[in-house]
Structure 1
Amino acid sequence: MSHITLFTDILPEEQERMRVCFQARELVFKNGEIVMEYSSTMHKIGLILYGRATLYCCDKDGNQYMIDELKKDAVFGEPFLLPADSQHYYVKAEEETKVMFIDYEHVIKRCEKACHHHSQMISNLLQMTALQSRQQMQRIYILSRATTRKKLLAYLNGLSVEKHSCKIHIPMSYTALAQYLGVDRSAMTRELKSLEEDGIVAKEGRDIVFPYRLNS
Structure 2
Amino acid sequence: MNYRFLAQTPLFQGTSPQEIEAMLACLGSNVRRYEKGQIIYRAGEVIHALGVVLSGSVLIETDDVWGNTTVLDCAGPGHIFAETYACLPDEPLMVHVKAAEACQILFLNVRRILQICPTSCGHHTTLVQNLLSLSAQKNLNLSRKIFHTSPKTIRGRLLSYLSDQSVRSGSRSFTIPFNRQQLADYLNVDRSALSNELSKMQREGLIRADRNQFVLLGI
| TM-score between both structures, scaled by the size of structure 2 | 0.87
Structure 1 vs Structure 2 CA RMSD: 2.3
Q: Counterpart in 2 of 1:91?
A: 97
Cα–Cα, structure 1 residues 80 and 191, in superposed 2: closer, same or farther, change >3 Å?
Answer: farther
Per-residue Cα deviation, 1:128-182 (whole angstroms, up to 9, x for no partner): 1111111110000111111111011111001001101111122221111111111
Per-residue Cα deviation, 1:61-119 (whole angstroms, up to 9, x for no partner): 4432111111101111151697xx89841111122211111111111111101111110
* Matches for 1:68-79 after TM superposition, within 5 Å: 68-79=73-84
Question: Quick check: 1:52 aligned with 2:57?
Answer: yes
Q: Percent identity?
A: 28
Q: Is the CA contact (8 Å cut-off) linking 1:46 and 1:99 kept in structure 2?
A: yes
Question: Distance between the aligned counterparts of 2:49 and 2:93, measured in 1?
Answer: 19
Pick aligned residue for 2:138 from 132, 140, 144: 132
Q: Is the CA contact (8 Å cut-off) linking 1:54 and 1:69 kept in structure 2?
A: yes
Q: Counterpart in 2 of 1:34?
A: 39
Question: Distance between the aligned counterparts of 1:38 and 1:44, measured in 2?
Answer: 15
Q: Is the CA contact (8 Å cut-off) linking 2:43 and 2:93 kept in structure 1?
A: no
Pick aligned residue for 1:64 from 69, 72, 75: 69
| Letter matched to residue 155 of structure 1 | Y
| Letter matched to residue 215 of structure 2 | V
Q: Counterpart in 2 of 1:12?
A: 17
Is the partner of 2:53 in helix, strand or coil?
Answer: strand
Question: Distance between the aligned counterparts of 1:150 and 1:173, measured in 2?
Answer: 19
Is the partner of 1:155 in helix, strand or coil?
Answer: helix
Q: Counterpart in 1 of 2:3?
A: none
Question: Distance between the aligned counterparts of 1:86 and 1:125, measured in 2?
Answer: 20
**Unpaired stretches in structure 2, ≥5 consecutive residues:** 1-7
Question: Distance between the aligned counterparts of 1:6 and 1:153, measured in 2?
Answer: 32
| Letter matched to residue 203 of structure 2 | E
| Letter matched to residue 194 of structure 1 | K
The answer to which of 62-71 and 97-106 deviates more is 62-71
Is the partner of 1:183 in helix, strand or coil?
Answer: coil
Cα–Cα, structure 1 residues 210 and 171, in superposed 2: closer, same or farther, change >3 Å?
Answer: same
Pick aligned residue for 1:159 from 159, 165, 175: 165
**Unpaired stretches in structure 1, ≥5 consecutive residues:** none
Q: Counterpart in 2 of 1:170?
A: 176
Question: Distance between the aligned counterparts of 1:28 and 1:106, measured in 2?
Answer: 23
Cα–Cα, structure 1 residues 5 and 38, in superposed 2: closer, same or farther, change >3 Å?
Answer: farther
Is the partner of 1:21 in helix, strand or coil?
Answer: coil
Task: List structure 1 segments (4+ residues) > 3 angstroms apart after TM superposition.
Answer: 38-42, 85-88
* Matches for 1:130-209 after TM superposition, within 5 Å: 130-209=136-215
| TM-score between both structures, scaled by the size of structure 1 | 0.88
Pick aligned residue for 1:107 from 113, 118, 128: 113
| Letter matched to residue 34 of structure 1 | I
**How many angstroms does 1:4 deviate by?**
5.9
